[in-house]
Amino acid sequence: MQQRFYCGKIDKTFIGKEIILYGWVHSRRDHGGVIFIDLRDREGVVQIVFQPDKKEIFTMAEKLHNEDVIKVKGIVRKRPEGTVNPKIFTGEIEIVATELEILNKSKILPFEISDYVNVSEELRLKYRYLDLRRPEMLNNIKLRHELLTLVRKFFVNHGFLEVETPFLTKSTPEGARDFLVPSRLNLGTFYALPQSPQLFKQILMIAGLDKYFQIVRCFRDEDLRADRQPEFTQIDYEMSFVEEEDIMSITEELIAEIFHYITGKHLSRPFVKLDYEKSISQYGTDTPDLRYGFEIVNVTSIFQTTQFKVFSSVISSNGEINAIVIPEGASFSRQQIEDYIKFIQSCGGEGLAWMKFYSKATSVTQQFESNIVKFFTEKELAQLKEKLNLHGGEIIFFCAGEHKKSCKLLGMLRQKIARDLNIVANNKEFKFLWVINFPLFEFSDEENKIVSVHHPFTAPKKETEHLLNTDPLKVRSRAYDIVVNGVELGGGSIRISNPQLQRQIFNILGLTENEIKTKFGFLIEALEYGAPPHGGIALGFDRLMAIFLGCDSIRDVIAFPKTQKGVCLMTNAPSVVSKKQIDELGLTIKTELKG
């Protein structure tokens, strides 16, 4: 094959040579007596010069339009004095065209191929092939490829084996909703697309592969968000004969390498570890953003005998009064405070109480300002001032309610205020942490039963295992989540390798013997044939890229993402299928859903 050169890679070493280039007309600057074309390919642009002495191709060049695809033959030369363009890699040279062939014309574009122009995302997704020509998007996709390569090399160098696991697999609807695929050969039965290769990688450990990894697509039929797509990519790995520290350590090493590749900077390690309970009571979430303070403070003890009914009734029903303090400098108007109260209500809360604190007034009562100050005694306010360490100019938000809910609402408020104050946007740090000591189970009000906090294959902590039958909600798990700047990057655990223990967990979760057998019989059985102790983790690759690149949405690092309704605007998937296809699968569609 003849050697091809990329437009964006032509440099001084080519000067004097005749070369052939292929690419897209990025822009045409017609000066009448000379025409410049920026010819673009995936590596960048190079300037082609058309001069009137080559009359035939000069006339052709006058008619060129943006995004026409052309083949150009020409001589590379040094640009004349004073016409060097330092902004582009090829800025010192240009190509004097000797031959021109128009390979394909382009219609007038729905939007310009430029990073300078704003285009609605709807249009970008419809014409994704044009969107991907924009340098910013092209760079994201190229970097994605480079990182995938880096990740692969990393695991290969550490002795991991890459194994592909099935996409057509068994539905285990314990977690997210499954995407289902009807089976034509077994009418009335369905495959599910995997939410993760969880069970297969555990089985691979039992098979003795020892160290497994896979860069794998996962599928979840849940509502979308800026950081959630119905199909997304995980870096999935699992190791045998390891403890939590081993997984955390190799994960930190991997993330540090990726981080270094992108930013050229080193991450400080090991990452901070934060207890789950502390994370909830201090930040109201298990994915805290540590780039800013405003930690939650429990002030319940101050208001034990308060006359303020909102607080006293919550306390008497075993609830808590929690507070966050926003320091001086953020002066909120009454309207802004009202907006925050509405925000809390939109998050499912009853409301917020608030106070402003001014140091200048003489009495404690006068130092506080709000519509509720009159309900509190001087003693209560004095204690509050001390407990919250108030100096002046602060605003305090209170949320009363059950422990977790109250903390959660304040955690959401904390995050919203940090955004509104531009603390997040102005902080380019990456604050990694591990959240550990999760409970193994939690009580689901919705389902009215005990459910796994992670998944039912997570091992309990040895020292809490004896509580499994007596007080399961007190059992702690050997799970660990990795979090950066308020985003859950991934999670993993040491798994259960003992079949009796696995069976016991299923029992606690309320599965009948029959359900255990039909849904997870193969796992229990596999565990009975000599399962090594093992554990692993999966990292959200799209999220990892988006956060390191500062993208607002993972859609910007995915070549062909879907809209919030799960639609691909380019192909218009999902779509209606023919009656023949439906019939072959033994399905019937409710008529009102059709078309």
Separation of alpha carbons 232 and 224, rounded Å: 11
Q: Please, are residues 535 and 239 in contact by the beta-carbon 8 Å criterion? A: yes
Residue 565 is a binding residue for RNA (CB under 7 A): yes
Residue 569 is a binding residue for RNA (CB under 7 A): yes
CA distances from 458 to 212, 215, 441, 455, 498 (A): 18, 22, 10, 6, 11
- Residue 110 or 327: the one with the smaller Cβ distance to RNA is 110
Residue 510 is a binding residue for RNA (CB under 7 A): no
Q: How would you label 326-351 residue by residue, b for 16+ Cβ within 10 Å and e otherwise?
A: beeebebeeeebeebbebbeeeebee
Separation of alpha carbons 340 and 432, rounded Å: 28
- Residue 50 or 432: the one with the smaller Cβ distance to RNA is 50
DSSP states along 85-130: -TTSTTTTEEEEEEEEEEEE--PPPSS-SSSSS---HHHHHHTHHH
**Smallest distance, RNA to C-beta of residue 564, A:** 3
- Pattern 512-551, RNA, x by CB under 7 A: ----------------------------------------
Residue 195 is a binding residue for RNA (CB under 7 A): yes
- Residue 59 or 371: the one with the smaller Cβ distance to RNA is 59
Locate all alpha helices (DSSP H) within 195-353, ordered by sequence.
198-206, 244-263, 276-283, 309-316, 334-346
Q: Select the residue interacting with RNA from 202, 214, 279, 452 (CB under 7 A).
A: 452
Query: Residue 150 is which amino acid?
Result: L
Residue 106 is a binding residue for RNA (CB under 7 A): no
- Pattern 273-312, RNA, x by CB under 7 A: ----------------------------------------
**Smallest distance, RNA to C-beta of residue 565, A:** 4
Window 575 to 594, contacts with RNA (CB under 7 A)? none
Q: Select the residue interacting with RNA from 328, 504, 563, 570 (CB under 7 A).
A: 563
Residue 94 is a binding residue for RNA (CB under 7 A): yes
Q: Which two tokens stand for residue 371?
A: 């519509």
Q: Select the residue interacting with RNA from 11, 20, 22, 66 (CB under 7 A).
A: 66
**Smallest distance, RNA to C-beta of residue 109, A:** 6
**Residue among 557, 251, 554 at smallest CA distance from 432:** 251
Radius of gyration of the chain (CA): 30
Please choose, out of 225-233, 255-263, 464-472, 519-527, the segment that lies near RNA by the rule CB under 7 A: 225-233
> Which residues neighbour 231 within 8 Å (Cβ) at sequence distance 6 or greater?
193, 217, 218, 219
Window 342 to 361, contacts with RNA (CB under 7 A)? 346-348
Window 132 to 191, contacts with RNA (CB under 7 A)? 172, 174-177
425, β-bridge pairs: none
Q: Select the residue interacting with RNA from 3, 120, 157, 316 (CB under 7 A).
A: 120
Separation of alpha carbons 290 and 304, rounded Å: 31
- Residue 319 or 491: the one with the smaller Cβ distance to RNA is 491
Residue 116 is a binding residue for RNA (CB under 7 A): yes
